[in-house]
Structure 1
Amino acid sequence: MSDTLRLALPLLAPAQAQKHVTHNEALLRLDVLSNASALSRSLSAPPAASEGATYLVGAGAGGDWAGHDGKLAHWRDGSWQFLTPYEGLSLLIADEGLQLIYGTGGWVSAVDLVAENNRLARTAHGAETRCLLLESELTGLSGAYAETAPIIPNRAIVFCVSSRTTATVSGAGSYDVGLSGERSKFGGSLGVSAGSTNAGVIGPTAFYGDTPLRISANGGDFTAGSVRLAVHLLLPIVPQS
């Protein structure tokens, strides 16, 4: 083996002459990959570069970058050096203030890796505070109201239900988002046109049972349309031992 498996850093050979050359090359590569950053990404051709400049090669780039899609192009000693990313490499794109992560599917925004169920805090015995986002879409609307399955979990603390009209609602002039018995708890007289949105923020409210959301028609019954709902909540998890 002449290179390390992860960073592809060159290794010294037994009784090798000019060891400093191999050693320095490893340091130079490590200098690029450690806390990696690039000036820009997705360029179609190499820009005029200064010593030490690094870019993320875009798909289908030409010129000296041809065939190096997705690699780091680093200008050193008058030529481009190309570094192959490894699984889990984090890269800052300076001109966008964007953090990318490299995985089996290529580069993705670190924001896109955020889960719908995140642990905020945990004790040694398994007690947790989680932040959750739970979505449900009500389609083919019909009648005076429509309800989700019980989407709000028992013991959840809800602080918002946001909504989006994903297909134009007909039959009603507007709609409310709430619960059985609290018709417009998360928003009233909301828009029926596709693309209409609302963030129905409330004071943090505890729920003591699995609870469905309800949308209610105003000015007539629903005859068609779709609405997507998202519940923004905190969920406590009791100690596990």
Structure 2
Amino acid sequence: MPDLSANLSLPYLLPSQAQKHVTHNEALRQLDTLVQMAVQSFNASEAPPAPEDGEIHALGLAPTGVWAGQGGQLAVYNSNAWTFLAPKDGWRAWDMQASELKVYSAGVWLPIMPELQNLEGVGVGTTSDATNRLAVASDAALLTHAGSDHRLTINKAGPTDTASMVFQSNWSGRAEIGLTGDEDFHFRVSSDGSSFKDALTLRGSDGAVTAPCLMSGSIDIAGDSVGYVPTPSAGGMFAINLVDPLYPQAPHSGLFSFDTGPSMLLHTLAAGSRMDNLNTDTLTGTSGTDEYTSLAVRAGELQIENRYGSLRRYAYTFLNTY
């Protein structure tokens, strides 16, 4: 029969042993140390000047002084002397300084609860992976405020990257919303999960809304100045009018067809009495008649000249573009 127990190395009482109480008391002392173990410091290197009975320190690799040569051991102070115990895998101890429970594994004391920063991944009800670092399997997910506002941010690295939300059916994409490869906000749909078509686009530069065969927006133009609106395609039709919150501005409205491609052209379909078509002229801010709004086209753009007083807002809608 061995002299010591397998796990805690407690001394056994042996047959015909004298002074059995000494062996018994030593076993009780080790039990008192190791059961419900509370450690004053981890990776300790130098003994405290005035330790108390029962004080325990987990030593670092190269302790000094009275601890020299006991690297990695548990130093226990009892009866005015230090004794040393070799920890085993699975032993647990309460860290008095950090107020956390630790476990001994492969020569290192580790927190039982890992550091919840810079994690490789988190899976809730499922398993995360290298791509989906956060994975959640649930009937619903809730993100709520902590007293006032709540904002969910999806960030991308650069203008040509993607920051979006994809909606799938049986793991095949059917809809996507977000910044998909540029700085405009896209609503896209797909029938097969691989080829997506834009159903609606909000242009980041000016907020213009584009849909197949349709684009609407507005632009503010100072007096005697020119504003430029990129056309959604090389040709089509558009309606435009000056917006005034106080009264209608029908004289500054019109319906036109355009070509801003190789054969530039601006053709009037209907126009108010103060809406001028200057076709392919280059507008300067004073090209048209005073008190009028003038239009012209250039490569890829509609020009709008405001000669009707101060800052004005123009609303436009492109139709049947291709």
**TM-score tier after normalising by the smaller chain length:** 0.5 to 0.7
- Aligned Cα root-mean-square deviation (Å): 4.0
Asked if 1:179 is matched to 2:181, the reply is: no
- Which amino acid in 1 is paired with 2:45? S
Aligned mate of 1:134, from 106, 128, 131: 128
Find the counterpart in structure 1 of residue 89 from structure 2. 87
- Which amino acid in 1 is paired with 2:22? V
Q: Is contact 1:70-1:107 (8 Å) kept?
A: no
In 1, Cα distance between the equivalents of 2:71 and 2:154? 37
In 1, Cα distance between the equivalents of 2:45 and 2:8? 26
Find the counterpart in structure 1 of residue 281 from structure 2. none
Find the counterpart in structure 1 of residue 35 from structure 2. 34
Find the counterpart in structure 2 of residue 196 from structure 1. none
In 2, Cα distance between the equivalents of 1:26 and 1:103? 24
- Which amino acid in 2 is paired with 1:169? A
- Which amino acid in 2 is paired with 1:17? A
Q: Is contact 2:60-2:72 (8 Å) kept?
A: yes
Identical columns (%) = 24
- Which amino acid in 1 is paired with 2:95? I
Aligned mate of 1:71, from 53, 66, 73: 73
In 2, Cα distance between the equivalents of 1:26 and 1:45? 27
In 1, Cα distance between the equivalents of 2:9 and 2:153? 48
Find the counterpart in structure 2 of residue 44 from structure 1. 45
Shift, 1:19, TM fit:
0.3
Structure 1, unaligned stretches of length 5 or more?
119-129, 138-147, 182-207, 222-241
Q: Is contact 2:126-2:135 (8 Å) kept?
A: no
Length, aligned pairs only: 169
SS at 1:107 equivalent: strand
Are residues 218 and 104 of structure 1, via their aligned partners in 2, closer, same or farther at CA, if it must alter by over 3 Å?
same
Shift, 1:66, TM fit:
2.4
SS at 1:101 equivalent: strand
In 2, Cα distance between the equivalents of 1:78 and 1:164? 61
Shift, 1:155, TM fit:
5.9
The 5-angstrom pairing of residues 72-221 of structure 1 reads: 72-112=74-114, 131-132=125-126, 134-137=128-131, 157-159=140-142, 169-171=157-159, 176-180=163-167, 209-210=170-171, 216-217=179-180, 219-220=182-183
Find the counterpart in structure 2 of residue 21 from structure 1. 22
In 1, Cα distance between the equivalents of 2:71 and 2:172? 49
- Which amino acid in 2 is paired with 1:11? Y
Q: Is contact 1:90-1:101 (8 Å) kept?
A: yes
- Which amino acid in 1 is paired with 2:166? L
- Which amino acid in 2 is paired with 1:39? Q
Q: Is contact 1:155-1:209 (8 Å) kept?
A: no
Structure 2, unaligned stretches of length 5 or more?
144-151, 185-322
Q: Is contact 1:152-1:210 (8 Å) kept?
A: no
SS at 1:29 equivalent: helix
In 2, Cα distance between the equivalents of 1:210 and 1:152? 14
- Which amino acid in 2 is paired with 1:134? S
Per-residue CA deviations over 1:158-178 (Å, capped at 9, x if unaligned) read 457x9998xx92335x96353
Find the counterpart in structure 2 of residue 239 from structure 1. none
Find the counterpart in structure 1 of residue 7 from structure 2. 6
The structure with the largest alpha-carbon Rg is 2
In 1, Cα distance between the equivalents of 2:29 and 2:179? 63
Shift, 1:45, TM fit:
1.2
Structure number with the bigger relative contact order (C-alpha 8 A, sep ≥ 6) is: 1
Per-residue CA deviations over 1:194-231 (Å, capped at 9, x if unaligned) read xxxxxxxxxxxxxx85578998457549xxxxxxxxxx
Find the counterpart in structure 2 of residue 144 from structure 1. none
Q: Is contact 2:39-2:94 (8 Å) kept?
A: yes
